[in-house]
Amino acid sequence: MAEYATDYSIDELMAAVIARDLQNDEIGFIGLGTGGRAFQVAVGIPFAASNLARMTHAPRYHILLGMMMDPRPDKMPDRFLESEEAILNWPCASRISSADIFDLFRTGKLGVGFVSGAQIDQYGNLNIVAIGDYHRPKARLVGALLQTEHMAFANRNIIPVDLSRRTFVPKVDFVSGVGFGEGGDSRKKYGLPGGGPKLVVTDMAVFDFEETTKRMRIRSVHPGFTVEQVQENCGFELVVPEHVQFTEPPTKEQVELLRRVIDPKGLLMRH
DSSP string for 169-237: -SS-SS-SB-SSTTSTTHHHHHT--S--EEEEE-SSEEEEE-TTT--EEEEEE-TT--HHHHHHTSSSP
The percent of residues above 90 in pLDDT, for the chain, comes to 86
In the predicted model, what is the mean pLDDT of residues 61-88?
A: 86
Torsion of CA 14, 15, 16, 22, to 10 degrees: 120
Fill in the amino acid letter for 23. Answer: Q
In the predicted model, what is the mean pLDDT of residues 65-92?
A: 85
Domain 10-261 CATH superfamily: Glutaconate Coenzyme A-transferase (3.40.1080.10)
Indicate the average pLDDT of the chain: 95
Contacts 24+ apart (CB under 8 A), 239-248: 239/210, 239/213, 239/215, 241/217, 244/218, 244/220, 245/220, 245/221, 246/220, 246/221, 246/222, 247/13, 247/17, 247/205, 247/206, 247/220, 247/221, 247/222, 247/223, 248/4, 248/16, 248/17, 248/20, 248/220
In the predicted model, what is the mean pLDDT of residues 142-166?
A: 94
- The whole-number pLDDT of residue 70 equals 98
CA separation for the pair 230, 205 (Å, rounded): 7
CA separation for the pair 113, 29 (Å, rounded): 5
Indicate the pLDDT class of residue 253, thresholds 50, 70 and 90.
very high
Among residues 41, 36, 90, which one has the least CA distance to residue 65? Answer: 90
Bigger pLDDT: 77 or 16? 16
* Residue 48 reports pLDDT greater than 70: yes
Q: What is the pTM of this model?
A: 0.96
CA separation for the pair 248, 130 (Å, rounded): 35
